[in-house]
Chain A
Amino acid sequence: KNQVEQSPQSLIILEGKNCTLQCNYTVSPFSNLRWYKQDTGRGPVSLTIMTFSENTKSNGRYTATLDADTKQSSLHITASQLSDSASYICVVNYFGNEKLTFGTGTRLTIIP
């Protein structure tokens, strides 16, 4: 069973619009949750990291939220740009070890 589930699998939006991506996880005990952006054929790039005690973290037009009680996170992108087209991956870290557990990602396409 995949311990990090993301939805939707893919999303197409118009340039300038906002969108929200969802992540549900079952990893326990939980230490921190990360969102990465991965362009096709490239390595993931970190967007945000939140510990279990944080509710929200922003990085420019990206805002991540975390509800550790319901084990849900979201990534909100405002005023989307063509360069936002990529896969967005939710990644969860077990408490006490270094292993990162990756979700399958949401493929976001921004169209002009």
Chain B
Amino acid sequence: EPEVTQTPSHQVTQMGQEVILRCVPISNHLYFYWYRQILGQKVEFLVSFYNNEISEKSEIFDDQFSVERPDGSNFTLKIRSTKLEDSAMYFCASSVAALRPDTQYFGPGTRLTVL
């Protein structure tokens, strides 16, 4: 069964460094999403992406964040200058969205630790 994959599974970085989290959505899906979950807290929406542009973003998704679909298969989340409070689990999701409401399929997540 097709699934969303994410790399790396765990990323440790120093505060102020840039990180890129990578995701490979399910191949026939058209909508892509990033979510984060701080340890012990609820999942929070960051951004949705369709047709090579951001379709919606939350207040969390400020200028430090950017997303890209560089090659038609990967979907990346970049954090330019990481802060301690960026430490969280980051989930990528994708959906077909040909018919609303659509099921979003989540990847296994990348645990980001900022020291």
B44 touches A102 (CB 8 A): yes
Q: Chain A: interface residue count, which band? A: 20 to 34
| Closest A residue by C-beta to B55 | A98
Binds B, one of A20-28, A36-44, A77-85: A36-44
B113 to A: closest C-beta gap in Å: 14
Majority SS of interface residues in chain B? strand
Q: Chain B: interface residue count, which band? A: 20 to 34
| Closest A residue by C-beta to B41 | A104
A51 touches B101 (CB 8 A): yes
Give chain B residues whose Cβ lies under 8 Å from the Cβ of A56: none
Q: Is B107 an interface residue, CB under 8 A from the partner?
A: yes
Sorted nearest first, the 6 A-B pairs with minimum C-beta distance are A43-B106, A32-B101, A102-B43, A98-B48, A102-B42, A104-B42
